[in-house]
Structures are given as structure tokens and as C-alpha cells.
Amino acid sequence: MSVQKPLPPTFRSLYRLFLRTASASVLHQSSARQNLRARWRPIFDEGAKVTQEFQNKSEGASPEWIRSREIWLNTWNKRLDHTLELLYNSSQTRGQPHKITRNLAFITGLERRRIVGKFKRLPRWDPTSKKYEPLTPAKLKALHKKNDEEKFQDHTLKALDEVIRMAEAFSGLTLGRNDVTLRRMPEL
């Protein structure tokens, strides 16, 4: 049985530096800071996973596998260096970098609210309620409109994510992921 080594101090230091810089880039506003942390957490989870795989490599690991992990980690480190530069500039000036980080935090917060709104708790069932009557054409039309709106929002978010990926590739940095995970249902 092999025991996993803890992450190297340089990785933990990079993560702490990132958290402080991200907080400063949005002027330590709690909701924006929380949104930025949630946005970049999957990036660091992925980096931690590859780092641990690389640290715990078996003696029989192929040189190609080792080389691919080294290349991936070098690319990841360069991207995070550029991301830290963006966040630092955002914390020092109120120009384009600040607008980018502020809007990324805002988009993440909106997506979280949208997802939570989808899963809001249903009230106790009342069989005599008028809302359980058969659907009229107007109600059916409203239901279709609501479904179309949800599809539209999903498509716009996918398009926005694609634009963000292109900006990342062009600039050599990472702008996080907009994957909202609900750990527990919020009280509504």
C-alpha cells in the first residue's frame, strides 16, 4: 500500500498567493472573492491531481508519461504566472484587468443564482390548488417560453465560455471555470 505524499510547499504557497491576489483584485469584497475562488478552484484541483500523480509515479512509469506530465505542469505553471500578473494588475489599477476580474466574479455569481433558482424547494402539495388544474393554452405557452429561456441561457453561457477559452489561449493565462457545484441545498 502506497501512501500519498502531501502536495509540495511550492504548490500550497502558489495557491495561498493566488487566494490573496484574487481577494485584492476585487477589493476584498466577500461575494466577489468567494465567486473568484469558486471559479479557479477546479483549476487548482486539476493541478493538484497531476502534481500528486507525478510525485507518486511508479518506478515502471514510461518516460513518455513522465515527460507528458512535466510538460503539462510547466504549461500550467506558466498560465498561472500570467493569471497572477492579471490579478495583481487588477488589484493595483482600475483599468481593463480590474473590469475583467470583476465581471468574471459577477458572471460566476449569476450562474450560481441561476442554478440555485432551478432547484428551489417546492411547496407542500395541495391537491385543491388551482395551479394543478389542466393546462390552458396560455399556461402551456408560458411553460414553453420558460423552457426556451432556460435553453437560451444555457446556450449563451456556453458561447461565453468558448470566448473565454479563446482569450485564455491567446493570452496564455487561465480565467477559471464556470462550473457551479452545489455542496448543499441553500435554504430558500
pTM: 0.80
What's the pLDDT tens digit per position in 27-55?
Answer: 999 999 999 999 999 999 999 999 999 98
- The mean per-residue pLDDT over the stretch 80-96 comes to 94
What value does the mean pLDDT take over residues 140-146?
90
Average pLDDT over residues 116-120: 77
Rounded to whole angstroms, the Cα distance separating 101 from 109 reads 12
* Mean pLDDT for the chain overall: 89
Q: What is the mean pLDDT of residues 2-29?
A: 91
Q: Domain extents for the chain?
A: 9-121+135-171
What pLDDT shows up at residue 157?
Answer: 87
Q: Which of 4-13, 78-87, 175-184 is the least confident region?
A: 175-184
Assign 1 a pLDDT band (cuts: 50, 70, 90).
very low
Q: What is the pLDDT of residue 109?
A: 93
